[in-house]
Chain A
Amino acid sequence: MSATNRDHDPALAVDNLVKVYPGRRRQPPTRAVDGMSFEVHRGEIFGLLGPNGAGKTTILKILTTLLPPTSGRAEVLGHDVVSEPLAVRRAISIVLQETAIELFLSVRDNLVTFGKFHGLDHAAARRRAGEVMEKFYLTEYAGQKAQDLSGGLRRRVQVAKTFMVPTPVMFLDEFSTGMDPILKRTVMGYLRDEAARGRTIVLTTQVMTEAEELCDDILIMHKGRTIAQGDLNKLKLLAKDVYDVTLTFEQIPPGLAGELEALKPQRLQVDHGTVEMTLKAQEREVLETIASLAARARLLHVEVSGASLEDIFVELTKER
């Protein structure tokens, strides 16, 4: 295949992938991934979403050569994860779900060691470590051993490592765990920049707003299977009759909570004067409901929005 053709190939290609974990101690086998197929294009931020136990981490483990699939194929930049694991590993860097850090080494040495593993010579690794520490506000901790850092700082070092070398593909498994909101926002900006430079980023997250803000393409999976895939707009069409409604009353009329329960909202929260609910209904019905509530008590604030990614996620995964 020519280099030009390869540039148009997807960064990741997964075809009918299956992973079955054998049962332990008389437990039946677990089919963690059940015939999944998808592609991720170069320079894309791809979100793999699903409830706990959906199989997201298993897919990531297969794509990063940590686990062999039971059947099916997975390729990273055209390299098969089973027959060409080394070529795959040369193309990737990963932030695992668990904290992964050299506890006895300093922050700088953690970064330098990572750089050396990925082919940087010592001088280049040290230089790059300096730049990355600055980028991640780690310079003041450069000489501190990782064992003396807080959990959040350890996570920051772990994410920072993936910026040491420009591997074409990055995998981030719940990367923002333990990060404060300011740093999280900064890192999300960095990720967008990396994607703009052509790096492909695959992330799994439980934080839907993260996926909503970052991802060009989202795959929602459940029990090892794909249940929806597309960009945010396409996914929103799947839940077009779902609305988030927020109403703030001067004083909540008596018995309102019970009446709202009768509407069978997907989510309902009544807190002091504010009602937050997610309704699955047609737009006209939602507006009529709001109008009838407004006639009962004085409304200070009304907010109606289409379904969020979280609503779509709940809608798609709840009944399966």
Chain B
Amino acid sequence: MRGLEAILYREAKIRFTNFAWIVWDAFYPLGYLLVFGVGIDYALGSPLRDPNISYNDFFLGGVLAMASFGIAINTAWGFFLDRDNGIFFEMLTYPLSRAEYLGGKVCFNVLLAIVQATVTVGMSALILGVKVKPALLPWLLLGVILGTAGWFFFFAIFALRIRRNDVFNSVTSIFYFVFLFASSIFYPLDPLPRWFRSVALLNPITWQVDLLRYASIGLRTEHLVAESLAFAGFALVAFYFGVRTLNRASS
């Protein structure tokens, strides 16, 4: 436990040396919702046939998933910073397991993601009148935690394997484009061509978005349970490979 506590302390210390970073992390999903969500809502209206669901309602789950994805990329990029500072290898000689090391990093980001989700959900309900279902909030919490952890482990695999910062940036840019747009973040999948739908249904971010959308406004997709289980599986597999990659990182 001491190791985990030390990692949390370190992450918090580093993050709080840049207050702007903390503010940005806490408020940018809300900003996205207020600018992009409101713009689309006014210009195009609801993407669903149900007139009771506005684009802002629909987009809340997507924006939370996008935020998990963003935090994960930023934190995984931190491995490059640690390598440049030389501290990465020294930390691997500290008395903690590789799983604790990754777990500690993810715990800090989960805490940040929970703050971010609380701000986003609370303010979107207050300002935009998003119809959040309070009874489902525990599921929302689970979706946020699982999402932040799963994506962090996923990107950690690449950050630990790739030696060059610019190559990692290219990889994440491609992932950003593919994962975010070939998913249900911005639009419902039903009206899309079959091939597009098939691709999107294989995309783990769709699984996470569908869980978060259900947990925020109660909108249920046909395969919700399977998607949620698949996303939990994705996070576990990413964790396993993340630890394995970390074990090999100095070889």
A residues within 8 Å of B by Cβ?
A: 61, 64-68, 86, 89-90, 92-94, 96, 98-105, 109, 113, 116-119, 145
Q: What count of chain B residues pass the 8 Å CB interface test?
A: 24
Q: Is the interface of A mostly helix, strand, loop or mixed?
A: loop
Q: Which of A64, A66, A105, A116 has the most CB of B within 10 A?
A: A116
Complexed CA–CA distance, A119 and B87 (Å): 18
Of B86, B96, B251, the contact of A96 (CB 8 Å cutoff): B86
B12-32 vs A, CB cutoff 8 Å, 1 = contact: the mask equals 011001100000000000000
**Is B199 close to A, CB under 8 A?**
no
Complexed CA–CA distance, A152 and B164 (Å): 27
Choose the segment among B1-9, B37-45, B61-69 that binds chain A (4+ C-beta atoms closer than 8 Å): B1-9
Complexed CA–CA distance, A237 and B55 (Å): 85
Residues of chain A contacted by B97 (CB below 8 angstroms) = 86
Q: Is the interface of B mostly helix, strand, loop or mixed?
A: helix
11 more contacts with CB within 8 A, not counting A96-B89, A113-B10, are: A67-B251, A90-B95, A100-B89, A102-B14, A102-B87, A105-B14, A113-B13, A116-B6, A116-B9, A116-B10, A145-B17
Residues of chain A contacted by B6 (CB below 8 angstroms) = 113, 116-117
Residues of chain B contacted by A89 (CB below 8 angstroms) = 93-96
Complexed CA–CA distance, A286 and B91 (Å): 53
Complexed CA–CA distance, A17 and B239 (Å): 32
**Is B170 close to A, CB under 8 A?**
no
User: Is B95 a contact partner of A96 (Cβ separation < 8 A)?
Assistant: no
User: Is B85 a contact partner of A101 (Cβ separation < 8 A)?
Assistant: yes
The 14 sampled A-B contact pairs (Cβ below 8 Å) are A65-B93, A66-B250, A67-B250, A68-B251, A96-B89, A96-B90, A100-B86, A103-B85, A104-B14, A113-B9, A113-B10, A116-B10, A117-B3, A118-B95
B230-251 vs A, CB cutoff 8 Å, 1 = contact: the mask equals 0000000000000000000011
Chain A min CB distance to B195 (Å):
38
B residues within 8 Å of A by Cβ?
A: 2-3, 5-6, 9-10, 13-14, 17-18, 85-87, 89-97, 250-251
Residues of chain B contacted by A64 (CB below 8 angstroms) = 93
With both beta carbons as reference points, the residue of chain B lying nearest to A66 in the complex is identified as: B250
User: Is B95 a contact partner of A119 (Cβ separation < 8 A)?
Assistant: yes
With both beta carbons as reference points, the residue of chain A lying nearest to B88 in the complex is identified as: A100
Complexed CA–CA distance, A117 and B87 (Å): 13
Q: Which of B3, B10, B94, B95 has the most CB of A within 10 A?
A: B95
Residues of chain B contacted by A96 (CB below 8 angstroms) = 86, 89-90
With both beta carbons as reference points, the residue of chain A lying nearest to B5 in the complex is identified as: A116
User: Is B95 a contact partner of A101 (Cβ separation < 8 A)?
Assistant: no
Chain B min CB distance to A80 (Å):
16
With both beta carbons as reference points, the residue of chain B lying nearest to A105 in the complex is identified as: B13
User: Is B92 a contact partner of A66 (Cβ separation < 8 A)?
Assistant: yes
User: Is B85 a contact partner of A117 (Cβ separation < 8 A)?
Assistant: no
Residues of chain B contacted by A90 (CB below 8 angstroms) = 95
